[in-house]
Structure 1
Amino acid sequence: MDPPTFRNNLEALTNTVKAAGCTPILVTSLCRRTFSGGQLKDILAPFADQTIAVGKKLNVPVLPLLADSRAYVAKLGSANANQFNFVGEKTTGRDTTHLNALGSKFFGRMVADEMKKAVPALAANIKADAVTSGKIAAGTL
């Protein structure tokens, strides 16, 4: 799917959610933990840009997971970021898209922390984890 089609679909879905009386919260993609020449590759920015544009147009919160996860993974580097890779029956440990339990903990925390900022009314319902949040801020495991 190209970014303009993605945007049109996301806008339609967001409007459907709003029409149903619900409050949508948009989240940009989690980065893929793929490095080349020591640099983190980024192929998802055009889609994140479209998500942000829809959020602005429709006045709904957007959690910047792509930017946050890119900054964190870039600090970690390839070897440490690979510790988040999903390993299953049909994978080789090089799955840099899906997460294992450790990756779910760290990136789930990232979403929770962003949710508190973007939707303060939900903050009381989100349990803090200062240790994991601190590791993310420091770029460590």
Structure 2
Amino acid sequence: MKVYSSLRGRKFICSVLSVKFCDYSFLTMKFLPLAASILTLFGGVEAKKSPFFILTGDSTVATGGGWGDALLNSTKKPAGGINIAKNGATTVSFRSQGLWDTALDNVKSHKKTHEAIVTIQFGHNDQKTLTLEQYSDNLATMIGEVKEAGGTAIIITSLTRRTFKDGKVVENLSNERDAAIAVANKAGVKYLDLNTASTKYVNAIGQENADKYNEIEGDRTHLNFSGKLVFGRIVMDLLVEKRRDLARYIATNKKLSQLIKDGIYATGAE
């Protein structure tokens, strides 16, 4: 009987039954079995909560030289989010500096009104100080803590660096990519393979065009304004591909998405 306790739920069933003048009390009597079948078919009457994105990671996500703000600036109300990513962060320093606690606090404070989605993208700095086993263990712990706090964890593989050798991108984050995917699969959470998608796009446009996304000359890791828009769009397209239910909360840019898909250099202003 609990599922029929709200007036909204009863109105929904009446609308499906095309009852113009509906005595909602009938749902507790004669038509209860039929009402139950309707709710089962439609998966309940309550709409899924809008997302609140909590972005965690290193400088390739952070405000400044990362893609994170491009995602947040493209969300549609009532969706929202916060970018907690920090330059130089690892899965260890992010915790020791209190940033991970901030992420979990945001989960707890938003989970009643939103689906609190924590995106987790590290690797660039972890590979300098941690073993792959340590990196994997840290990601797994983060996922578990997000779940325990009442949030949804999404792993994102590392944004590619844009350094070429013999005409191809040097894939020096592939081990971290594979480790992150393995952790996500084991934990049963979704992942966005940004590393593969960004590598594919950068290979398609070539070194000369890829360098146009450098935050400063010679910096083939961080992103300027155009780079943030382009690689932010890659993240958004990957996200919607994995979570179709989030599409209505994220502004589209079909022209930019198509250019990326076709491997054509884009400025982000399309």
TM range (shorter): over 0.9
Matches within 5 A, 1:31-46: 31-46=160-175
Unaligned residue ranges in structure 1 (runs of 5+): 88-92
**1:107 and 2:199 matched:** no
Higher helix share: 1
> How far is the alpha carbon of 1:117 from its aligned partner?
1.1
What TM-score does the superposition give when structure 2 sets the normalisation length?
0.49
Query: Which position in structure 1 is the counterpart of 2:132?
Result: 3
CA distance in 1, matches of 2:191, 2:180: 7
108, 113, 129: which one aligns with 2:253: 129
State the secondary structure of the residue aligned to 1:98. coil
Bigger Rg, structure 1 or 2: 2
Matches within 5 A, 1:1-141: 1-87=130-216, 93-141=217-265
State the secondary structure of the residue aligned to 1:77. helix
CA distance in 2, matches of 1:125, 1:139: 26
AA of the residue aligned to 1:112: M
> How far is the alpha carbon of 1:127 from its aligned partner?
0.9
Unaligned residue ranges in structure 2 (runs of 5+): 1-129, 266-270
Higher RCO (CA 8 Å, separation ≥ 6 residues): 1
- The Cα offsets for residues 97-129 of structure 1, whole Å up to 9 and x where unpaired, read as 100011101100000001101112211101110
CA distance in 2, matches of 1:137, 1:34: 21
Q: Percent identity?
A: 36
CA distance in 2, matches of 1:33, 1:20: 36
- The Cα offsets for residues 19-48 of structure 1, whole Å up to 9 and x where unpaired, read as 101001110010000011222101101111
- Following TM superposition, where does structure 1 have runs of at least 4 consecutive aligned residues deviating by more than 3 angstroms? none
What TM-score does the superposition give when structure 1 sets the normalisation length?
0.93
CA distance in 2, matches of 1:100, 1:137: 21
- The Cα offsets for residues 57-93 of structure 1, whole Å up to 9 and x where unpaired, read as 1111100100000000000110000001012xxxxx1
Query: Which position in structure 2 is the counterpart of 1:90?
Result: none
AA of the residue aligned to 2:222: H
How well do the aligned residues superpose, as a CA RMSD in angstroms? Answer: 0.8
